[in-house]
Amino acid sequence: MKSSCLFFRRFCSFLIITTFYITVLNGQNKPIVHTLENVIWYNKPAKEWLQALPIGNGRLGAMVYGDPENEHLQLNEDSMWPGKMDQGDSRGNVKDLQRIRTFLDQGNLHAADSLIVEAFSYKGIVRSHQTMGDLYLRFHRNRTITNYRRELSLDKALVTVSYLVGKYKFTERVFSSAVDDVLVIELTTDDPEGISCDALLSRPEDHGHATVHVSNPAPNEISMFGRVTQYGGRIHSVAVPMDYGIQFETRLRAVIDRGTVTSEDGQLHIRGGRKVYLYIAGNTAFYHADFKRQNQVTLDAVTEWMFEDLLTRHIQDFSYYFGRVSLALGDSDKSAVPVDERLASYKSGGNDPGLVSLLFQYGRYLLISCSRPGSSPANLQGLWNPYIEAPWNADYHLNINLEMNYWPAEVTNLSEMHQPLFDFSDRLMHRGTRTAREQYGIKRGTVVHQATDIW
């Protein structure tokens, strides 16, 4: 589990190490024309979460597995938190602080340390950022799959999966658009029989408790409605189940060029489409009082557009940020080698400067994808989190981790991605005035402890 929490942070750290090599378009926000496309690709599907490919628009994202038989997209949204707007301070107060000072004056360091730990050195409330759920696409196939390729274009923020089913080509393209605030999936084939699959949304249980209700509000739609809970939560080190939290809805709408779409028991049955489009809107009460209505408005708007127009709008928006920086560390054209094989070779001492520049750009890609103006800041998982109880709660560690997430923002020409952190800091400073007053007797100031969450 620890490795997943390093997923985002390790790339942000990598950016700092290589920053002095980069060529930045100083003082301008015009995309650089890249001579080599930045592509991470594999010749097999992901078997586990860390092998999936991440996409995100700052707030809404997914991990794409690329499985040709049982495709899996793990869905994410940055405000999926249990609990409510509460202070969450530790139990320490001004009297405890004075006792600690007295112990120190007396040279009783053990007593001072014990009281610091008991009164101040832990989170009052322990709860976790959570997954939004999962989309599964179960395909009906009985032919051999060959020529498999799964790739993430960093320049386009686009996942593409392609392969042959028998002699017919199948292609899947996935992106998360900030312009239209929607996750888009395109499935195409030249098979005259078309595509047949079943689509379903689900979400893990929370300690045996169901977390969502799934329904079909229309023949071509799935709605997954729920509330974020934390039945394994703790308040002041005591187990306290939290059956209250952010309400949310994930809604999927299917549009096909031919064939049929039918609904049954919260699933969609798609039969015979040569072009299948799946649009996913996900919103919470944190951002919208009427989040269900917002999903409906979003889906109504995007389904008026052609897929290629949505994709063009998305690429133009993303490349405005990503295309500001180009990095070339030398000639080693290994782009025809899958990235997992390149990593293994590099670990064994192989020379691959192109891999270094690719990982540098991957770090920039991740920051753009999980931190946009108007979103919440990147947490310990960035945005991508498959858990109900994530490692270290996927929260905000203020001693170093949150700052590390944003070290690359200015030096790699991504200043706008800093804005969620600034907005979050303003809220923390306001909330911290009460902490300063009640815990430390400070009437003009603010105090924020080591870890916090969205509240």
Per-residue model confidence as pLDDT tens digits over 205-246:
999 999 999 999 999 999 999 999 999 988 777 888 999 999
Is pLDDT larger for residue 11 or for residue 334? Answer: 334
- Residue 403 pLDDT greater than 90, yes or no: yes
Q: What contacts 306, CB < 8 A, 6 or more positions away?
A: none
What pairs with residue 376 in β-bridges?
Answer: none
| Verdict on whether the full-model pTM lies above 0.85 | yes
Q: Alpha-carbon distance 281 to 250, whole Å?
A: 6
- pLDDT reported for residue 233: 86
Q: What contacts 62, CB < 8 A, 6 or more positions away?
A: 54, 55, 56, 73, 74, 75, 76, 135, 174, 176, 183
Q: Alpha-carbon distance 173 to 73, whole Å?
A: 12
Q: Alpha-carbon distance 264 to 142, whole Å?
A: 24
Q: Alpha-carbon distance 373 to 323, whole Å?
A: 18
Q: What is the CB-side half-sphere exposure of residue 45 using CA atoms within 13 A? A: 17
Q: Is 19 exposed, middle or buried (0-12, 13-18, 19+ CB in 10 A)?
A: middle
Average pLDDT, the chain: 91
Task: Give the three-class secondary structure for 161.
Answer: strand
5-19, 74-88, 284-298, 359-373: segment of lowest average pLDDT: 5-19
Q: Alpha-carbon distance 393 to 130, whole Å?
A: 8
- Residue 154 pLDDT greater than 80, yes or no: yes
Pick from 111, 385, 121: which is nearest to 236 by CA?
A: 121
**Residue 379 to residues 44, 108, 245, 399, Cα–Cα distance (Å):** 29, 38, 18, 13
**Both structure tokens of 114:** 């014990």
Task: Give counts: helices (H), strands (E), the chain.
Answer: 9, 23
Domains in the chain, CATH or no CATH each: 39-82+126-352 (2.70.98.50), 89-122 (no CATH)
- Residue 34 pLDDT greater than 70, yes or no: no
Per residue in 301-348, pLDDT (tens digit) is 999 999 999 999 999 999 999 999 999 987 678 899 999 999 999 999
DSSP one-letter string for 358-400: HHHHHHHHHHHHH--TTSPPPBTTBT----SS-GGGG-EETTT
- Residue 300 pLDDT greater than 70, yes or no: yes
Per residue in 350-398, pLDDT (tens digit) is 999 999 999 999 999 999 999 999 999 999 999 999 999 999 999 999 9
Pick from 379, 183, 401: which is nearest to 277 by CA?
A: 183
Percentages (nearest 5) of helix, strand, coil residues in the chain: 30, 30, 40
Pick from 209, 323, 245, 208: which is nearest to 77 by CA?
A: 245
Is pLDDT larger for residue 266 or for residue 448? Answer: 266
Q: Alpha-carbon distance 158 to 38, whole Å?
A: 11
Q: Are strands 182-189 and 168-177 parallel, antiparallel or unpaired?
A: antiparallel
Place of tokens 């070779």: 345
Which amino acid would we find at residue 300? D
Q: Which pLDDT band, with edges at 50, 70 and 90, does 8 fall under?
A: low
Count how many residues are written for the chain.
455
Pick from 234, 228, 242: which is nearest to 122 by CA?
A: 234
